[in-house]
Amino acid sequence: MADEQDKDSKTEDPTEKKLRDAAEKGNVPFSREVTVFASALAVYVYLVFFLPSRMAEVTEILRDLFEQPDQWRLTASPDVVALFVHLAWAGAAILGPIFILLIVFGVGSSVLQNMPSPVLERIRPQMSRISPTKGWSRIFGMTGFVEFAKSVFKIVVVSIIMFLTLRGEFYASIDAMFSDPQVIFVKLATIMKHIMIVILLSTAVVAAIDFFWTRYHWFSELRMTKQEVKEEFRQSQGDPIIKSRQRSIARDRARRRMIANVPRATLVIANPTHFAVALRYVREEDDAPVVIAKGQDLIALKIREIAESNGIPVFEDPPLARSMFAQVSVDTVIPSVFYKAVAELIHRVYAASPQTRRVQ
């Protein structure tokens, strides 16, 4: 009951991270019916392109073996071994291509569905694999029912195909058994082609349905609740409280560094208690004055206090202080719009006596 309620609450599509994590654990959609169809296609390719030439060679070998048995002397064990080796090579020549085709088509069908990747999670021991409850749910659940329906469909279709095909070819097959061996193989190959064509069509239908069903079922199993989506977003973006704390610490550190730079200032422009902007101008360093500190309210008072304690001139110009505080960042040169006003203040600094600490 709890599992059903949990599934009902999973109304959100899985995120990219959820899909990526599932793939890393080996949980990817995979249709076995596509592999079955690929194997059937491999058999049909073999029957059409490889079997006729191989059958001709095997027919010649069997004809020589049965029509001229005297050429095979079986007087000693090496003769028997030589005969079996000869027949084994003949069997390998006819069966080798089918094994290669099955491997190539099988691997190709798997690669086309999902790119192979090593997943240690698949071989890790898990109690759910030996749990009777989990096994019962897998057998009698939706997945087990779908697999059972596919198996029944394939058995019924193949049985009907075999019956209809062999019923029409029954007497012709019996007549071929008493004819030339080459005719027997040709007749059997023809019958197998007819059977494989119908099997291919039926397995193609099942494979197409199972391919989309597998992906739909896999996607549905990975659905998330709204709370899971929120938790994942919080983990990806970071805890807001922690991030706020980190930003606060970063601001405090930047503020301390800025206050520490105030003794290097050439002058301070204030309003008189709400804003303060500390400027540094040295001809050898920069082409224009640089804002090395700025602050509002308590920080502005702190900047003025440090400036006055270090003998740095403080100019009270409310409009200029407010404009520069709003438009200029710390550690950047002032815009050209402020050149004239600041140049006049710097000129007054250089013209003033060393004892001057505050200029009204």
* Residue 10 within a domain: no
- The stretches of 141-180 forming alpha helices (DSSP H) are 142-168, 170-177
Q: In this model, does residue 338 exceed pLDDT 80? A: yes
Largest CA distance in the chain: 132
Look at residue 275 in the predicted model and tell me its pLDDT: 87
345 and 301 share one domain: yes
Tell me the one-letter amino acid at 201.
Answer: L
Q: In this model, does residue 62 exceed pLDDT 50? A: yes
pLDDT band at 190; cut points 50, 70, 90: confident
Pick from 243, 227, 219, 225: nearest CA to 16: 219
Look at residue 360 in the predicted model and tell me its pLDDT: 37
pLDDT band at 52; cut points 50, 70, 90: confident
* Residue 23 within a domain: no
Show the domain range for 301: 243-359
CA 165 to chain centre: 46
37 and 121 share one domain: yes
Q: Which of 187, 221, 255 is the last residue of a domain?
A: 221
CATH value at residue 336:
3.40.1690.10
Look at residue 1 in the predicted model and tell me its pLDDT: 43
Q: In this model, does residue 179 exceed pLDDT 50? A: yes
Give exposure, 33-55, as e/b (b: 16+ Cβ within 10 Å): bbbbbbbbbbbbbbbeebbeebb
Q: How many CA atoms lie within 13 A of 90 on its CB side?
A: 16
104 and 195 share one domain: yes
Q: Is the dihedral of CA 227, 232, 236, 241 positive or negative?
A: positive
Which of 33-47, 56-70, 184-198 holds the top average pLDDT?
33-47
pLDDT band at 71; cut points 50, 70, 90: low
Look at residue 118 in the predicted model and tell me its pLDDT: 64
Look at residue 130 in the predicted model and tell me its pLDDT: 62
* Residue 229 within a domain: no
* Residue 232 within a domain: no
192 and 285 share one domain: no
Q: Which of 162, 188, 221 is the last residue of a domain?
A: 221
Give the whole-number percent of the chain exceeding pLDDT 90.
Answer: 0
pLDDT band at 357; cut points 50, 70, 90: very low
Cβ pair 37, 226 in contact under 8 A:
no
Cβ pair 314, 359 in contact under 8 A:
yes
268-285: average pLDDT: 83
* Residue 249 within a domain: yes
47 versus 174: the higher-pLDDT residue is: 47
Main-chain phi, psi angles of 286, to 5 degrees = -135, 155
Look at residue 5 in the predicted model and tell me its pLDDT: 46
* Residue 228 within a domain: no
* Residue 152 within a domain: yes
90 versus 348: the higher-pLDDT residue is: 348
- pTM listed for this prediction: 0.51
216 and 329 share one domain: no
Overall domain count for the chain: 2
272 and 339 share one domain: yes
281 versus 7: the higher-pLDDT residue is: 281
253 and 188 share one domain: no
pLDDT tens, residue by residue, 294-324: 888 888 888 888 888 888 888 888 888 888 8
Q: Is the dihedral of CA 330, 333, 337, 339 positive or negative?
A: positive
What Å distances lie between residue 107 and 34, 94, 112, 147, CA to CA?
Answer: 11, 22, 9, 22
pLDDT tens, residue by residue, 213-230: 888 888 888 888 888 877
pLDDT band at 120; cut points 50, 70, 90: low
180-195: average pLDDT: 69
CA 199 to chain centre: 35
